[in-house]
C-alpha cells in the first residue's frame, strides 16, 4: 500500500450523500477489500424491471472483477447480460453504544457498478478460472486439475471493469451522545471475523494424501 495512491473519481451513484466520512475512493483500499472477500452479491434488474440478487464467487484481476458460472444458470446469464451492481461486504465488529440508536457495525464494503463483458478467448478464460480458484484458496490452482474443453464450454466467464466503484468503511469504538456517557451501560466493540478450521478430508480421499500447506495454514483475514 506504499507509494502514490490512486484516487477514483466519484460519480453520481458512488458519491456518498450521507456520512461522507465513510466513503473511500482510494483504489488500494478498494482492492484490499475485494481481495479479502470470498463472495460477492450481484444485483441486477430482470426483464420486468424487478430486482434480483445472487451470491457468488469472484476474483479481482488487476482493474477488473472476474465472475463465472454455469451456462445453465439462468439467473447468472441474465445478470451477465445486463447492467449489474456488485457488493462485497466484510463484517469486522458489532458496535455496542450506550444508546440503541448509536449501535452500528464495523465493516468494509465495496459497491461496483458496470456492465460485464464475456471472456471468450480460450487462454484468457483458463487464466480467469485459475485466478478465481487462486482468489479463494491461494495455491490451489496448482493443486487441482485445470478445466478441460467440455468444462470450459459449460462455463461462462465475464469481466467487470473496476471503474465506477467506491468503498465504505466504519472502524473504531461507538460514538455516544454526551448525555448518555454516565448511564452505566457497557460500551465497546465485539470484533468478528471469518475464521477457518482445519481442512476436513473427503471421505473418499485415499490414505496417505496429507493436506497441503495452503490448506493447513488457510487464513482469510489479510490485515
User: By CB under 8 A, what part of segment 57-96 binds a copy of itself?
Assistant: 57, 70, 72-74, 82-87, 89, 91, 94, 96
Closest approach, Cβ 38 to a copy of itself, in A, equals 6
- Do 139 and 213 contact (CB within 8 A), yes or no? yes
d(CA 162, CA 65) in angstroms, rounded, equals 6
Residue 207 near a copy of itself by CB under 8 A: no
> Cell 487464466 sits at which residue?
127
Among residues 22, 105, 127, 161, the one that binds a copy of itself under rule CB under 8 A: 105
- Do 36 and 221 contact (CB within 8 A), yes or no? yes
Cell of 75: 439467473
How many CB atoms neighbour CB 53 within 10 A?
12
Q: Which residues contact 176 (CB under 8 A, 6 or more apart)?
A: 97, 98, 99, 102, 187
Indicate the residue among 123 and 197 with the shorter CB distance to a copy of itself. 197
Indicate the residue among 2 and 21 with the shorter CB distance to a copy of itself. 21
| Footprint (CB under 8 A) of a copy of itself, residues 108-167 | 109, 111, 113, 129-130, 133, 136-137, 140-141, 143-148, 151, 155
| Footprint (CB under 8 A) of a copy of itself, residues 7-36 | 13, 17-18
Closest approach, Cβ 200 to a copy of itself, in A, equals 5
Amino acid at each position: 500500500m506504499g507509494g502514490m495512491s490512486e484516487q477514483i473519481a466519484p460519480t453520481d451513484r458512488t458519491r456518498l450523500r450521507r456520512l461522507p466520512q465513510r466513503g473511500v475512493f482510494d483504489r488500494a483500499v478498494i482492492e484490499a477489500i475485494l481481495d479479502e472477500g470470498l463472495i460477492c452479491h450481484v444485483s441486477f434488474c430482470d426483464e420486468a424491471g424487478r430486482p434480483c440478487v445472487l451470491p457468488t464467487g469472484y476474483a479481482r484481476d488487476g482493474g477488473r472483477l472476474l465472475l463465472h458460472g454455469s451456462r445453465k444458470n439462468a439467473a447468472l446469464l441474465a445478470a451477465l447480460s445486463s447492467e449489474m451492481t456488485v457488493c462485497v461486504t466484510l463484517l469486522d465488529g458489532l458496535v455496542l453504544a450506550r444508546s440503541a440508536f448509536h449501535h452500528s457495525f464495523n465493516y468494509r464494503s465495496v459497491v461496483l457498478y458496470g456492465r460485464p463483458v464475456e471472456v471468450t478467448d480460450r487462454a484468457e478464460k483458463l487464466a480467469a478460472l485459475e485466478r478465481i480458484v487462486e482468489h479463494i484458496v491461494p495455491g490451489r490452482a496448482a493443486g487441482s486439475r485445470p478445466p478441460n474443453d467440455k468444462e470450459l464450454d459449460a462455463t461462462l466467464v465475464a469481466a467487470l471493469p473496476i471503474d465506477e466503484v467506491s468503498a465504505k468503511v466504519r472502524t473504531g469504538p461507538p460514538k455516544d451522545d454526551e448525555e448518555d456517557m454516565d448511564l452505566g451501560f457497557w460500551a465497546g466493540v465485539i470484533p468478528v471475523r471469518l475464521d477457518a478450521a482445519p481442512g476436513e478430508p473427503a471421505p473418499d480421499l485415499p490414505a496417505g494424501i496429507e493436506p497441503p500447506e495452503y490448506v493447513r495454514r488457510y487464513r482469510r483475514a489479510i490485515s
